[in-house]
């Protein structure tokens, strides 16, 4: 107890700022990875950091040596095992409002066209998968489909998914304010907690959202329900007004 009091007594203003910055960093990372597999590893790293700091300040040399020696191994294992979660967290950090000045936003007319086509497809019970690229590039998935490179319009999107051709089973990807390609193949989510009621389209939307910051609209072929997916989370049963509000929030920032 006396050692701890001595440590607190010897703390300088720089030490306090240093501790607060590290705490803020871990808290920010925790909020980004909360609800993912990485959260428990991050908690373990935070505990090791605290123990290492206390061991070094109390001259517990053996404990400090063991912790400092294993620290690099834990960090490398964390990065390797949870690279998807880390990439998602960094992507979300890059979308913070302080960086919004440097980011190009989707025009609201495009959002209107996506909402209009989703409503048409929903009313007629045609399944659809519409992907809107944000910061993370989707080129590998674009190349799995048929290149279109045309303006975004509800008529084109509706025609693609209401046809019985090869394109209606895949995803439409919107890049740089254009429909880049259609019939694209997306990765399926590997989340073991995913409900069995979700079909291939919903699993594909969740799978892509786990690997990128894309915003995905899903229309269920069975129920006509409209869903919006981003960052591994899905909002179901959306009406056109709510869909537009959420798309505007995620893509325009309003």
Cα separation, 183 vs 181, in Å, equals 7
Please, what is the Cα angle at 96 between 92 and 102, to 5 degrees? 110
Report the percent of the chain where pLDDT is more than 90: 40
Question: What would the two tokens of residue 128 be?
Answer: 């659809």
Ranges of the chain with pLDDT below 70: 1-11, 26, 29-43, 64-65, 67-75, 77-106, 192-193, 195, 197, 254
| Residue 212 Rama label (left phi>0; alpha psi -120 to 50; beta) | beta
Residue holding tokens 């594909």?
204
Task: Give residue 100's pLDDT.
Answer: 47
- The confidence score (pLDDT) of residue 240 equals 94
CA neighbours closer than 13 Å in the CB half-sphere of residue 242: 9
Supply the angle between the helices 83-94 and 13-33 in degrees, to the nearest 10: 110
pLDDT of residue 103: 47
Fold designation for 102-251 = YojJ-like (1 (3.40.1700)
Q: How far apart are CA 141 and CA 230, in angstroms?
A: 17
Query: How many angstroms from the chain centroid is the CA of residue 215?
Result: 9
pLDDT in tens, 105-116: 567 889 999 999
User: Contact at 8 Å (CB) between 111 and 132?
Assistant: no
Give the C-alpha separation, 105 to 248, whole Å: 10
Number of H helices, E strands in the chain: 10, 7
């Amino acid at each position: 107890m006396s050692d701890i009091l001595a440590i607190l007594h010897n703390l300088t203003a720089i030490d306090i700022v240093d501790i607060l910055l590290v705490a803020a960093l871990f808290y920010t990372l925790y909020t980004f990875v909360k609800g993912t597999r990485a959260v428990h590893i991050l908690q373990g790293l935070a505990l090791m950091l605290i123990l290492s700091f206390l061991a070094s300040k109390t001259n517990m040399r053996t404990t400090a040596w063991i912790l400092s020696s294993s620290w690099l191994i834990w960090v490398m294992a964390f990065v390797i095992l949870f690279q998807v979660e880390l990439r998602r967290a960094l992507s979300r950090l890059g979308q913070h409002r302080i960086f919004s000045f440097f980011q190009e936003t989707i025009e609201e007319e495009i959002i209107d066209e996506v909402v209009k086509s989703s409503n048409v497809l929903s009313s007629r019970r045609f399944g659809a998968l519409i992907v809107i690229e944000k910061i993370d590039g989707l080129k590998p998935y674009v190349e799995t489909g048929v290149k279109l490179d045309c303006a975004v319009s509800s008529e084109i999107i509706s025609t693609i998914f209401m046809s019985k051709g090869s394109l209606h089973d895949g995803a439409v990807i919107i890049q740089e304010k254009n429909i880049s390609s259609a019939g694209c193949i997306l990765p399926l989510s590997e989340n073991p907690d995913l409900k069995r009621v979700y079909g291939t389209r919903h699993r594909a939307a969740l799978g892509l959202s786990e690997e990128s910051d894309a915003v995905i609209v899903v229309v269920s072929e069975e129920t006509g329900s409209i869903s919006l997916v981003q960052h591994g989370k899905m909002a179901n049963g959306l009406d056109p007004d709510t869909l537009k509000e959420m798309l505007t929030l995620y893509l325009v920032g309003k």
